[in-house]
Each structure stands twice: as structure tokens, then as C-alpha cells.
């Protein structure tokens, strides 16, 4: 990771899951803060989490490698 850039750069390689896991491990604190903001918005807006079920199923079907990376990120930063 370089310190000269505005956005951090992390160089990783591997499967989509392995890449996601390293991203989650390295940026755990940032991801946690973003997750907290999303939860607050959900509470304020009264969002029903069930709308996510259909989106999740479609993503697993049509974007399996992307979902592998998302799973890796979640597990890398110890989140559900």
C-alpha cells in the first residue's frame, strides 16, 4: 500500500475470495465504519431488510465471482 495517494492502494492476487479476504483484513476499520452508517440509515429510513433477499439471490446467480469477493471481504473483516 502506498501512502502518497489519496485513496489507499492494496496490491493482492488470488481467487476472488482470497482478494476479498485481504481487502477485508486490511480495511476492516473503514468497512466497519461504513457498515455502521448503513445500519443507521436503515433504522432512520425504516428499510425492510427483506428487499435484500431477492437482490442477493440474483447476485449469486448472475455475479458469482463478485459474490465470492464480497464473502471474502466480510470474512476478512469478521462481519456477517
Burial of 21 (0-12, 13-18, 19+ CB in 10 A): buried
Residue 50 sits in which domain range? 16-76
- Give the distance, in angstroms, between the CA of residue 41 and the centroid of all CA atoms in the same chain: 17
Report yes or no on 2 lying in a domain.
no
Could you give the number of structural domains in the chain?
1
Report yes or no on 1 lying in a domain.
no
Q: Has this prediction a pTM greater than 0.75?
A: no
54: confidence class by pLDDT, cuts 50, 70, 90: confident
Report yes or no on 65 lying in a domain.
yes
Would you list the DSSP string of 49-64?
Answer: TTHHHHHHHHHHHH-H
Query: What residues contact residue 26 under an 8 Å CB cut-off, 6+ apart?
Result: 1, 10, 76
Instruction: Check residues 54 and 68 and name the one with the higher pLDDT.
Output: 68
47: confidence class by pLDDT, cuts 50, 70, 90: low
pLDDT digits (tens, 9 = 90+) for 6-30: 778 899 999 999 999 999 999 998 8
Report yes or no on 57 lying in a domain.
yes
Report yes or no on 34 lying in a domain.
yes
Report yes or no on 69 lying in a domain.
yes
Amino acid at each position: 500500500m502506498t501512502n502518497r495517494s489519496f485513496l489507499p492502494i492494496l496490491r493482492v492476487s488470488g481467487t476472488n475470495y482470497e482478494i476479498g479476504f485481504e481487502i477485508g483484513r486490511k480495511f476492516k476499520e473503514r468497512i466497519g465504519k461504513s457498515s455502521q452508517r448503513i445500519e443507521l440509515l436503515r433504522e432512520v429510513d425504516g428499510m425492510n431488510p427483506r428487499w435484500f433477499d431477492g437482490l442477493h439471490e440474483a447476485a449469486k446467480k448472475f455475479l458469482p465471482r463478485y459474490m465470492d469477493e464480497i464473502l471474502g471481504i466480510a470474512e476478512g473483516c469478521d462481519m456477517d
